[in-house]
Structures are given as C-alpha cells and as structure tokens.
Copies of this chain bind each other. A is one copy, B any other.
Amino acid sequence: MIKHKSFSLADLAQRFQLELSGDPSLSICGVGTLANAMPGQLSFLANPRYRKELSATRASAVVLAPAEASAAPCAVLLSPNPYASFARIAALFDTTSEAPVGVHPSAVIDESAEIDPSASIGPSVFIGPRTRVDAHALIGAGCVIGEDCVVGVRSHLVARVTLVKRVRLGTDCLIHPGAVLGADGFGLAMDAGHWIKVPQLGGVILGDHCEIGANTTIDRGALEDTVLEDDVRIDNQVQIGHNVNIGAHTAIAGCAAVAGSAKIGRYCLIAGGAGVVGHIEICDRVTVSAMSLVTHSLTTPGSYSSGVPLQETRDWRRNAARFRHLDELARRVKSSQNNENIE
C-alpha cells in the first residue's frame, strides 16, 4: 500500500546531511529492517542487539554510526544518530490520504465555536460551546470536543478522541484514537458514610509537539490545571491524574499511571506499566523501569526500579513465602552475629 516514491542515495545524503559511502546514484524506494529489507530498500543499525544481522542484509543501503560502517555489505549513510536519521528518511515513505479541508456535513458544531477555515473536521464530530480549532488542525471521524477547548495549529486528533472540557492543545500535537483528555479528576470526600464529589474546576494544558497514545486518559485539574509541557510523548493506555505536571521532553510508555498532583521533571523516561503515586516530585532526567512504583520524591537523576525477578513458579513460590518473614530472618541473622561477637 506504500506508494512507490524513490530517492537517490545522494539526494538522501544531502537532505539529511549524512556522509555517503557507496554508489550515489542508487535508487531507494522504501525502508525495511536489516533482516527483511529488499534490494532497493534502505535499513538502519541503531540497537547493538541487531548488529549480527548487518552482514547478511539485502538492503541496498544502511544508515549507521561510522564505527559500524566497515561491517556493512552495502552502501552506507553515516550518522552520529542513526535512529534519528532513519526516522527522518522513513518519513519520506509514509503515506496518508489527505483529509479534506472544511467541515463534514455530518459534524455538529456549536454556533459559538470558532473553526479556522483551513481546519479539517471529519464525519460525526461534535464541537461544543466556545471551543476554537486553529489553522490546519485535523479532527478525525467521531471525535467529541466539549466546551472551552482549544486545538492548536496543525494539531491532529486521529479519530474518536474526546476533549471533555477546558482542554488546550498547543501546536503540532497528535492525539490517537480513544484518548480522553479533560475528564473529571477522581476527587471524592467521605461524609457521613457517603461519597461527595469534589468539583473539578481546572483544565488540561498541553504544550507544542505533544503526542498522546490510544486510549490514554488525562484528567482535568481540581482547582488548577493538569499540565504537559512541550514535546511530552505518551504511549497508549496511560493514566494521568488531575493536577499532574509533566516537564518538557519526558516520555511515558504504555499502561503507566501517574496519580494526582505528582510532578515529573524534564527528560524523564517512565517505562511501561510503571506507577507514580500522588503528591510527589520527580526531578529531571529520571528513568523508571517497567512496572516499578515510585512512592517517594526523587531528587537525584538516574535509573530507579522495584519488583522482583521472574522465576519458574515453583521456585518463585518458595522464595516469595520467605519474603513474608524477611524481617524475622534479618533479625535472626543480626542477633546470631551479635552472639558470635560476644562469644
């Protein structure tokens, strides 16, 4: 289904400022993995895990770091950051049908909403009171945008996205299907044996160049806003509680969850399924490993983990049973060693 565009190797080298070694007239008509690229395609080597596949690749050219070049059986484009260079080249081969400018006749737009004439509003979209959709924004089929929202210039809601209320997206944001931004935060007060709902009066603010994955949820703040700074990248099925603050360039992988009022710094990497409890602060450049739980503030950059290693269940069961008495075990060792010292 990928259209048959092609580019000479010399053209690619020049566009992306890469050093070329090999035949500059080679025509590249697509991209592929080292293992499966066909002649005429370009591949890349960034993860050392795949180095062993380099020598046997049938790709016509490979983007890689200068240190790897000698092992390539084909033309090479040298890059200090092969993955980034490859991403830029691959984008040339990406295709999506152009969405038509204007409002689809089945869309329902509140009369107080402002839609830039260059925006594209798809079928069965609903846009509520006082919401603004800026130039070249793209609202795909089935999206629902409530009141007092802003969709910034060139921002793209793929399909079936919901912006509930008071959600402001910067420019060039990309929101995947099923994402819900601006739903009520989970605020409850117990009173006389019943829950009372705490009104959620804040909004959600995203900076520029943010990406939000499919079925991810970002609640609006209780009194102030939930804020994602520029270039925050969030994967699928992530939950961001009310009043969370996420610093620029932080990335959060699938199924992670950040509880209310937590503050995460810039350039953090939160791996899949990890959790961050509420009301804590994580400094810049922290990495949290998969399915770890951050229960206290972190003030030093670095990598953090929790959990125990996977084992065969029968072995795991014996060790896990001992964990139930670990304190007792430690006390016993300590008292025994004290005895030794006394002896």
Tell me, rounded to whole Å, the shortest Cβ–Cβ distance linking A76 to chain B.
Answer: 18
Q: Give the nearest-CB partner of A255 in chain B.
A: B257
Most buried by B among A2, A186, A287: A186
Copies of this chain present in the complex amount to 3
Q: A162-B159, A294-B310, A304-B312 are in contact. Are A217 and B236 (CB under 8 A)?
A: yes
Beta-carbon contact of B306 and A277 below 8 Å: no
| Total A residues in contact with B, Cβ cutoff 8 Å | 139
Beta-carbon contact of A310 and B306 below 8 Å: yes
- A-side residues, CB < 8 A to B, are 1-2, 31-33, 36, 46-47, 49, 81, 83-84, 86-88, 90-91, 93-94, 96-97, 104, 106, 108, 122-124, 126, 128-130, 140-142, 144, 146-148, 158-160, 162, 164-166, 174, 176-178, 180, 183-184, 186-191, 193-199, 201, 203, 209, 211, 213-215, 217, 219, 223-224, 231, 233, 235-237, 239, 241, 249, 251, 253-255, 257, 259, 272-273, 275, 277, 279, 287-296, 302-327, 329-330, 332-333, 336-337, 339-340
Q: A215-B178, A259-B253 are in contact. Are A159 and B166 (CB under 8 A)?
A: no
Which residues of B sit under 8 angstroms from A292, Cβ to Cβ? Answer: 310
Most buried by B among A32, A90, A303, A340: A90
Q: A217-B236, A275-B272 are in contact. Are A249 and B194 (CB under 8 A)?
A: yes
Name A236's contact: one of B174, B219, B302, B310 (CB within 8 Å). B219
Q: Whole-angstrom distance between the alpha carbons of A142 and B253 in the complex?
A: 28
